[in-house]
């Protein structure tokens, strides 16, 4: 979504939009006045105006789409069409009578002039009202043309592209730099079913713009820039802090991005609250929403917090296309979207490596690990100090009331299910009454290495209960544990 270039506005001379405009000649094009917005955010206020005696002042009439609009400047015999500019008028070719004209002669002359004008306009083709406004689309901003009176089958041509008019409307995507503060001249052609082409010229007056620049995104800096341009004398605040514009009416402010909560969503809805007070016109208070993609990564092993007695531990997972991975700033290899690295643990102690996945134009995803190397897992497990009185028989009737309590259970494994950076182990606990099957659901924060039918001892905390379907399609509810240690046990 971000950074997708659309159709740019054709090059045309522009003039800065004045705070107090002078009167406009009658032949000048009509102007639409609006506030700019952002490539990915919703564009702002709009107003459709006809030709006034003086140029309009900036206006921010906020709508759902936030469009700003202007009427077209039709080329006609009385407009700017050069092919008819030097043609003598009908009135100058009529002979002047010697005396006062009779009433019937005046009426006849008016009818002749009216008929000539109708025939002339028909010869020139359709004269259709055309308007344009800025709207928000999925990939940023677009220019929406509206030609309500165009006949079915008509098309509109803009920026080298031609699109059919659906219900009198057609939309063209805009590049991020298509609009500037001031007057923006839009040139377009209406192409009628018979092949006739009618040119139109529209002026969009923009008093300010805000958009997000994702260029700062990189592995060591999760941030984006909000860029602002506005007319001189405009006051802008972002999230309650005033922004100082430079002499050219431009400013940039960096916004850090925290992806801790949104990492699984794939995108971040970055929101900036802003207030724009132009030198003339209404104050606008709104929000700038930008959806920014995240460089996705799935960590298969180890878990986020593990204890081991080994000299190294595997760090493995999967990433998206064109994504690179680094651990503690050192790049590691990625092949076919997967990575595998053996992280050294030279001595006993706690290690906190950080795994970062990054891609161009995306927010880097970082996962912090905590790995504790011990001399003996058995000795470390004894330090865990579970509640020896909390047995399966005591736990099973109501696991939820013991949530968070430390426990130690032994059992035989009957099913394992690796799930990314953690694993699910299902076991039958012992001791167990002969009339029951004492099933326990264990979540191991690492890729499990235990095998089905093996005997294990689990030390962890109670995490309520878990429901699942048995092989007989019955719904079974069992105690659920979050494992801290998974150790082998004697059969």
Q: What is the CATH number of the domain that holds 355?
A: 2.60.40.10
- Total residues found in the chain within this entry: 491
* 14 and 150 inside one domain: yes
| C-alpha span between 60 and 448 (Å, rounded) | 60
Q: Report pLDDT for 412.
A: 95
Q: Residue 262: exposed, middle, or buried by beta-carbon count in 10 A (0-12, 13-18, 19+)?
A: middle
| C-alpha span between 198 and 464 (Å, rounded) | 72
Q: Report pLDDT for 45.
A: 35
H or E element at residue 351: strand 349-351
Q: Report pLDDT for 270.
A: 84
* 88 and 142 inside one domain: no
* 335 and 403 inside one domain: no
Task: Confirm whether 409 is domain-assigned.
Answer: yes
Given a contact cutoff of 8 angstroms between Cβ atoms, the answer to whether 70 and 47 are in contact is no
Our count of domains for the chain comes to 4
Task: Confirm whether 292 is domain-assigned.
Answer: no
What is residue 249's DSSP assignment? Answer: S
- Give every CB contact of residue 92 below 8 A, 6+ residues apart in sequence: none
Domain that holds residue 114: 82-124
* 339 and 307 inside one domain: yes
Task: Confirm whether 69 is domain-assigned.
Answer: yes
* 139 and 278 inside one domain: yes
Task: Confirm whether 315 is domain-assigned.
Answer: yes
Given a contact cutoff of 8 angstroms between Cβ atoms, the answer to whether 20 and 171 are in contact is no
How do beta strands 455-469 and 439-444 pair? unpaired
The residue among 102, 124, 146 that closes a domain is 124
Q: Report pLDDT for 299.
A: 87
* 337 and 410 inside one domain: no
Angle at 485 between CA 375 and CA 451, to 5 degrees: 110
Given a contact cutoff of 8 angstroms between Cβ atoms, the answer to whether 432 and 375 are in contact is no
* 48 and 134 inside one domain: yes
Dihedral (CA of 225, 231, 232, 236) sign: negative
* 422 and 331 inside one domain: no
> Is omega for the bond preceding 168 within 30 degrees of 0, making it cis?
no
Q: Report pLDDT for 447.
A: 72
What is residue 55's DSSP assignment? Answer: P
Task: Confirm whether 261 is domain-assigned.
Answer: no
Q: Report pLDDT for 17.
A: 31
* 119 and 146 inside one domain: no
> What is the longest distance spanned by two Cα atoms in the chain?
131
What is residue 264's DSSP assignment? Answer: G
3-state secondary structure of 123: helix
Task: Confirm whether 342 is domain-assigned.
Answer: yes
The residue among 373, 390, 416 that closes a domain is 373
Task: Confirm whether 98 is domain-assigned.
Answer: yes
* 360 and 430 inside one domain: no
* 87 and 70 inside one domain: no
Binned average pLDDT, 10 residues per bin, the chain of 491 residues: 36 33 33 37 34 32 32 34 36 43 61 54 58 76 90 93 95 83 92 93 88 74 87 92 91 82 65 91 86 85 86 91 92 93 94 91 87 90 90 92 95 88 89 83 84 94 91 89 92 89
* 399 and 363 inside one domain: no
The residue among 352, 373, 394 that closes a domain is 373
Q: Residue 303: exposed, middle, or buried by beta-carbon count in 10 A (0-12, 13-18, 19+)?
A: buried
């Amino acid at each position: 979504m971000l950074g997708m270039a659309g159709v740019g506005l054709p090059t045309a001379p522009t003039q800065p939009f004045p705070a107090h405009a002078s009167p406009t000649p009658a032949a000048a094009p009509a102007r639409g006045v609006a506030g700019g917005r952002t490539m990915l955010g919703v564009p702002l206020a709009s107003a459709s105006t006809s030709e006034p005696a003086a140029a309009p002042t900036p206006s921010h009439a906020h709508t759902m789409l936030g469009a700003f609009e202007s009427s077209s400047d039709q080329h006609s015999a009385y407009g700017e069409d050069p092919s008819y500019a030097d043609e003598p008028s009908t009135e100058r070719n009529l002979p002047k009578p010697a005396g006062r004209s009779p009433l019937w002669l005046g009426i006849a002359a008016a009818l002749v002039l009216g008929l000539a004008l109708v025939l002339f306009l028909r010869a020139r083709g359709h004269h259709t009202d055309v308007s344009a406004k800025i709207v928000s689309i999925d990939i940023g901003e677009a220019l929406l043309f509206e030609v309500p009176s165009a006949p079915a089958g008509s098309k509109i041509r803009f920026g080298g592209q031609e699109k059919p008019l659906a219900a009198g409307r057609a939309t063209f995507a805009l590049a991020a730099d298509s609009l500037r503060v001031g007057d923006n001249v839009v040139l377009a052609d209406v192409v009628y079913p018979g092949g006739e082409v009618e040119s139109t010229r529209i002026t969009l007056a923009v008093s300010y713009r805000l958009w997000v620049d994702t260029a700062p995104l990189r592995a060591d800096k999760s941030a984006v820039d909000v860029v602002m341009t506005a007319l001189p004398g405009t006051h802008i605040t972002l999230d309650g802090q005033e922004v100082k514009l430079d002499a050219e009416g431009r400013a940039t402010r960096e916004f850090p991005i925290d992806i801790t909560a949104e990492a699984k969503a794939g995108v971040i809805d970055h929101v900036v609250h802003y207030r724009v007070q132009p030198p003339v016109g209404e104050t606008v208070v709104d929000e700038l929403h930008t959806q920014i993609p995240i460089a996705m990564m799935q960590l298969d092993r180890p878990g986020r917090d593990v204890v081991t007695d080994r000299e190294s531990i595997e760090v493995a997972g999967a990433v998206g296309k064109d994504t690179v991975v680094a651990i503690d700033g050192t790049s590691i290899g990625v092949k076919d979207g997967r990575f595998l690295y053996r992280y050294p643990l030279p001595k006993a102690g706690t290690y906190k490596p950080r795994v970062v996945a990054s891609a161009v134009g995306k927010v880097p995803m970082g996962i912090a690990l905590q790995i504790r190397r011990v001399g003996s897992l058995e000795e470390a497990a004894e330090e865990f100090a579970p509640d020896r009185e909390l047995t399966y028989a005591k736990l099973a009737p109501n696991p939820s009331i013991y949530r968070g309590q430390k426990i130690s259970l032994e059992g035989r494994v009957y099913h394992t299910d690796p799930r990314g950076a953690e694993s699910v182990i299902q076991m039958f606990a012992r001791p167990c009454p002969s009339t029951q099957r004492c099933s326990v659901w264990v979540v191991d924060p690492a890729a499990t290495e235990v095998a089905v039918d093996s005997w294990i001892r689990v030390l962890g905390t109670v995490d309520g209960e878990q429901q699942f379907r048995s092989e007989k399609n019955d719904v079974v509810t069992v105690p659920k544990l979050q494992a801290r240690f998974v150790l082998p046990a004697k059969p």
